[in-house]
Amino acid sequence: MPEAVNHPDHYNGHPSGIECITIVRHMNFNLGNVVKYVWRAGLKDKTPTIQDLKKAAWYLNDEIKRREKEEQHES
Protein backbone atom coordinates (compact mmCIF):
# COMPACT_ATOMS: atom_id res chain seq x y z
CA MET A 1 0.00 0.00 0.00
CA PRO A 2 1.40 3.45 -0.92
CA GLU A 3 2.39 5.82 1.86
CA ALA A 4 0.74 9.20 1.19
CA VAL A 5 3.40 11.45 2.73
CA ASN A 6 6.80 9.86 2.14
CA HIS A 7 6.22 7.60 -0.85
CA PRO A 8 3.01 8.32 -2.77
CA ASP A 9 2.56 6.46 -6.05
CA HIS A 10 3.71 9.36 -8.23
CA TYR A 11 7.10 9.44 -6.46
CA ASN A 12 7.98 6.04 -7.88
CA GLY A 13 5.86 6.17 -11.02
CA HIS A 14 8.72 6.91 -13.41
CA PRO A 15 9.54 3.91 -15.62
CA SER A 16 13.13 3.90 -14.29
CA GLY A 17 11.86 3.12 -10.79
CA ILE A 18 14.16 5.83 -9.43
CA GLU A 19 12.71 8.39 -7.06
CA CYS A 20 13.07 11.90 -8.45
CA ILE A 21 14.46 13.26 -5.17
CA THR A 22 17.54 11.08 -5.60
CA ILE A 23 18.50 13.25 -8.57
CA VAL A 24 17.17 16.70 -7.65
CA ARG A 25 18.93 16.82 -4.28
CA HIS A 26 22.01 17.77 -6.28
CA MET A 27 20.40 20.80 -7.96
CA ASN A 28 19.28 24.23 -6.90
CA PHE A 29 15.60 24.83 -6.11
CA ASN A 30 14.49 26.00 -9.55
CA LEU A 31 16.32 23.34 -11.57
CA GLY A 32 15.22 20.65 -9.13
CA ASN A 33 11.61 21.68 -9.67
CA VAL A 34 12.05 21.65 -13.45
CA VAL A 35 13.28 18.08 -13.31
CA LYS A 36 10.63 17.10 -10.75
CA TYR A 37 7.72 18.39 -12.85
CA VAL A 38 9.04 16.82 -16.06
CA TRP A 39 9.89 13.56 -14.26
CA ARG A 40 6.42 13.23 -12.72
CA ALA A 41 4.46 14.77 -15.62
CA GLY A 42 0.95 13.34 -15.60
CA LEU A 43 1.59 10.90 -12.73
CA LYS A 44 0.29 12.89 -9.74
CA ASP A 45 -3.40 12.50 -8.98
CA LYS A 46 -4.28 12.42 -12.66
CA THR A 47 -2.88 15.95 -13.05
CA PRO A 48 -2.86 16.85 -16.73
CA THR A 49 0.61 16.53 -18.24
CA ILE A 50 0.36 20.01 -19.78
CA GLN A 51 -0.05 21.53 -16.31
CA ASP A 52 3.10 19.80 -15.09
CA LEU A 53 5.03 20.95 -18.15
CA LYS A 54 3.85 24.55 -17.66
CA LYS A 55 5.07 24.43 -14.07
CA ALA A 56 8.44 23.11 -15.26
CA ALA A 57 8.63 25.93 -17.80
CA TRP A 58 7.83 28.50 -15.09
CA TYR A 59 10.70 27.30 -12.91
CA LEU A 60 13.07 27.15 -15.88
CA ASN A 61 12.19 30.71 -16.90
CA ASP A 62 12.63 31.86 -13.31
CA GLU A 63 16.10 30.28 -13.21
CA ILE A 64 17.05 31.93 -16.51
CA LYS A 65 15.97 35.35 -15.16
CA ARG A 66 17.87 34.76 -11.93
CA ARG A 67 21.07 33.87 -13.76
CA GLU A 68 20.73 36.79 -16.16
CA LYS A 69 20.49 39.17 -13.19
CA GLU A 70 23.48 37.47 -11.61
CA GLU A 71 25.51 37.92 -14.79
CA GLN A 72 24.54 41.60 -15.00
CA HIS A 73 25.76 42.19 -11.47
CA GLU A 74 29.06 40.46 -12.22
CA SER A 75 29.74 42.64 -15.27
| Torsion sign, CA atoms 51, 56, 60, 65 | positive
If you compute the radius of gyration of the chain from its CA atoms, what whole number of angstroms results? 15
Span 1-12, average pLDDT: 69
Please state, in angstroms and rounded to a whole number, the distance separating the CA atoms of residues 39 and 15: 10
Split at pLDDT 50, 70, 90, the class of 6 is confident
Residue 55 contacts residue 33 (beta carbons within 8 Å): yes
pLDDT in tens, 16-67: 888 888 999 999 999 999 999 998 888 877 768 999 999 999 999 999 999 9
Predicted local confidence at residue 17, as pLDDT = 81
State the amino acid at position 60 in one-letter form: L
More confident residue, 8 or 75: 75
